[in-house]
Amino acid sequence: MSGNAGFNILRDTLWGGGNNWLHNRSEDETYKLLIDSYHLRIEDEYTFRGDAGGLYADEDPVPHFRRFLRKAEKKEGVLPPWWTLEKKTACVRKGNTSNEWSCLHAAVEKSDIQEHYHDNTMPTQLRMLADEITGSNVMSPA
């Protein structure tokens, strides 16, 4: 993603530069943002590409989310310095056992994100995080 000048300008404006958006957040907030970034990514992949994965393929979303987290772990600087295998397990557990907002077993749309965070820029920020993690923009040809 680093080669896209427009993306870099927007990221720097919203995130203050770099890909360290998660670094100064609590563990719980980081888990929630990773889950929401994943939610929006699979929603976008289904909506814009017709790709069904995880929940959208009538599959258990947990293995699909774990793959998303593995990609995040491979991207230097995306996850906070405190991230460990134990934190990854806690993040997955939050998404798998939550009956509230961060449930991996429920679909989330852009409007849900905007309403939940009371922030119309949050979908863009979560999409940028997913783009950093996956190395691609869902709006670009697959």
Q: What is the pLDDT of residues 101-134, one digit of tens each?
A: 899 999 999 999 999 999 999 999 999 999 999 9
CA distance between the termini of the chain = 14
Instruction: Taking each helix axis as running N to C, give the angle between helix 61-74 and helix 27-44, from 0 to 180 degrees, rounded to the nearest 10.
Output: 110
- According to the model, what pLDDT value does residue 56 have? 78
Of 65-69, 73-77, 99-103, the least confident: 99-103
Domains of the chain, residue spans: 5-134
* CA dist., res. 28 & res. 55, Å (int): 23
For residue 16, pLDDT beyond 60: no
pLDDT band at 53 (very low <50, low <70, confident <90, very high): confident
- According to the model, what pLDDT value does residue 54 have? 80
